[in-house]
Structure 1
């Protein structure tokens, strides 16, 4: 279901959805969206933030509540022409699967739908974790090799990992920042690895990194960074912790096993 009062864009979106085998319904108001969602047992909804009756976040909350009442699985994509980091975080809080900034190319929408189907079909196994890591980046692929069955049988060397210091991690972060700046930052940046390095440093220093800080530190566009956060949380590499003093904010904490793996990896590569 496409929820947008802009009929032209809704029509373009529907065309793309039909091309990938979906049967789209178009709602031009919140009232119509709630009716169509229940009437047709909608399982995927693309919701525009700027709606005439209420904003997209509020509507998504109502759609989620309705789906829970109907015992129906519902995945949500938020679309907006006025993207901001605060809006992306708010969307993530209401279980939005993806966050797309208008104008949205057909390939972007197609990939977002494919990600939803991929999440539904994914199995939470060790092999799946390795596969997800491999998709994130070349550096993460090398990390993934640390948790394959062949590597599990090898003795680990905690003493070597203990040589990795916060200063060394800061140096790695600076190296990544310089690499990202090459060619204007569009070719050589590795957002996933930069975000993990920031989370590693925070954990080493007994701190927690906010979602917004992690996104900014990754150097990626907001929508890309938010997808990385979601992937990390879904795979268990990173845990999301609510801020007890400000319920509007979440912190990110690196998983203990991932923390140990990153220390080993840096000990092998950065220390030689």
Structure 2
């Protein structure tokens, strides 16, 4: 991890155990703290929670690597500083995470980069740009152009314009069986055509949360990563993007503060309801 940080243009000021960081309350954490916590016990979770609170009070960004088995516990205890979570990452995923947090740094906080460093960051920017391109497709569409053939003046759009969904038939988004059927149909394609060609984790997670909402169930971050049909670290990046986009929100377990879930925001519910209400006019079962 030290080599990855240095290669990304950061000066490594400290390397040691997690227990050493909270003890040094008078010392700055620096710009980035990278942690590798594949196996976690109660003491480690408590230390992570303290570090999360400390980072939230300053400008430090946290990058935390863990295992699939420990993901829910780490996610639940770190809810203040919005850390970047990685699951069993390789070096490329760590470097991408560094690029992600560095994108928010003022230029003056980074040392002068070598040409190799610049090329690496350029490649990172290209990958971030690909993610941004996918997110653009989730962004609100512009109002329907006047005079469009076959378009109603009151037709709703994904931006939330048009009549409220309450005026529509609410059965589209409350039909869990229909939503699960759509999910199964999407999964079925992987049996016949390479699944990576159709990877759309944002949509798969939106559908899974919509179905869970209709069923009255709560979804853990690990379960949502599985539903995304992409590697967990990739899914976590998308979850972060969708939280920032106002479509996902984190909800703590009322009975156990050590657990947390992901659910759709009211904004996401409204937009999905409009989408299903609109597409049902032309296609009974959207995929």
Structures share fold, TM-score greater than 0.5: yes
Per-residue CA deviations over 1:124-179 (Å, capped at 9, x if unaligned) read: xxxxxxxx9x94675x6444234x46766963474566462524323321222123
Matched, 1:216 2:264: no
Q: 1:28-47 residue pairs with structure 2 within 5 A?
A: 28-34=16-22, 38-47=26-35
Q: Secondary structure at the match of 2:11?
A: coil
Q: 1:155-170 residue pairs with structure 2 within 5 A?
A: 155-156=162-163, 158=165, 162=170, 164=172, 166=175, 167-170=177-180
Per-residue CA deviations over 1:231-250 (Å, capped at 9, x if unaligned) read: 33333212222222333322
Matched, 1:74 2:60: yes
Alpha-carbon separation, structure 1, partners of 2:209 and 2:198: 21
Deviation at 1:209, TM superposition (A): 2.9
CA RMSD in angstroms comes to 3.7
Q: Secondary structure at the match of 2:94?
A: helix
Which one has the bigger helix percentage? 1
Could you tell me whether the CA contact under 8 Å between 1:97 and 1:116 is conserved in 2?
no
Residue of structure 1 in register with 2:266 after alignment = 256
Residue of structure 1 in register with 2:15 after alignment = 27
Deviation at 1:41, TM superposition (A): 4.1
Residue of structure 1 in register with 2:149 after alignment = none
Alpha-carbon separation, structure 1, partners of 2:216 and 2:97: 35
From the superposition, tell whether residues 248 and 154 of structure 1 become closer, same or farther in structure 2 (CA, over 3 Å). Answer: closer
Unaligned runs of 5+ in 1: 1-12, 122-131
Alpha-carbon separation, structure 1, partners of 2:86 and 2:224: 19
Per-residue CA deviations over 1:234-269 (Å, capped at 9, x if unaligned) read: 332122222223333223321122112112223344
From the superposition, tell whether residues 56 and 201 of structure 1 become closer, same or farther in structure 2 (CA, over 3 Å). Answer: same
Give 1:84's match in structure 2, choosing from 68, 72, 75.
Answer: 68
From the superposition, tell whether residues 202 and 29 of structure 1 become closer, same or farther in structure 2 (CA, over 3 Å). Answer: closer
Could you tell me whether the CA contact under 8 Å between 2:86 and 2:232 is conserved in 1?
no
Residue of structure 1 in register with 2:2 after alignment = 14
Residue of structure 1 in register with 2:116 after alignment = none
Q: 1:165-176 residue pairs with structure 2 within 5 A?
A: 166=175, 167-176=177-186
Q: Secondary structure at the match of 1:79?
A: strand
Q: 1:46-195 residue pairs with structure 2 within 5 A?
A: 46-49=34-37, 56-67=44-55, 71-80=57-66, 83-85=67-69, 87-93=70-76, 94-95=78-79, 97-102=83-88, 104-105=90-91, 107-118=92-103, 135=131, 138=134, 141-146=136-141, 148=142, 155-156=162-163, 158=165, 162=170, 164=172, 166=175, 167-183=177-193, 185-195=195-205
Q: Secondary structure at the match of 2:181?
A: helix
User: Who wins on radius of gyration, i.e. which is larger?
Assistant: 2
Deviation at 1:23, TM superposition (A): 0.9
Q: Secondary structure at the match of 1:260?
A: helix
Deviation at 1:101, TM superposition (A): 4.1
Give 1:241's match in structure 2, choosing from 208, 227, 251.
Answer: 251
Aligned length: 241
Unaligned runs of 5+ in 2: 107-127, 145-156, 283-287
Q: Which has the higher contact order (CA 8 A, sep 6+)?
A: 2
Deviation at 1:102, TM superposition (A): 4.6
